[in-house]
Amino acid sequence: MASKCPGQDFRNLRVSLHKCPNCGAEVEIFSDEIKLKCQKCGEVVYREKIPSCVDWCASARRCLGEERWRELTGRD
């Protein structure tokens, strides 16, 4: 008997809502998908956030400027 990966069983799919980084529209992404195009503007929306220099670089705050850094990180 061949076993099937539980991730391929459509009964186990989960959906999560993600905000489009371009237009702010809600995009439904299923657990078997990595990315999807926003139906409103066509921007690619990823299920998981892709790390950027803002997340790890000690100079990001200075490089981007205070206002843009706060906007991207949501920090004060």
* Domain boundaries of the chain, sorted by first residue: 13-73
User: What per-residue confidence (pLDDT) applies to 4?
Assistant: 61
For residue 5 the two structure tokens come to 């990966």
Backbone φ, ψ for residue 52 (5° rounding): -125, 175
Q: What is the pLDDT of residues 7-61, one digit of tens each?
A: 556 677 888 999 998 999 999 998 888 899 999 999 999 888 767 788 888 888 8
List 45's β-bridge partners, or say none.
36
User: What per-residue confidence (pLDDT) applies to 70?
Assistant: 85
pTM of the complete model: 0.53
User: What per-residue confidence (pLDDT) applies to 73?
Assistant: 79
- C-alpha angle with apex 24: 76 to 69, nearest 5 degrees? 25
Backbone φ, ψ for residue 27 (5° rounding): -125, 130
User: What per-residue confidence (pLDDT) applies to 58?
Assistant: 86
Helix (H) / strand (E) containing 68: helix 66-73
Tell me how far apart the alpha carbons of residues 44 and 42 are, in angstroms, rounded to a whole number: 6
pLDDT over 50 (residue 1): no
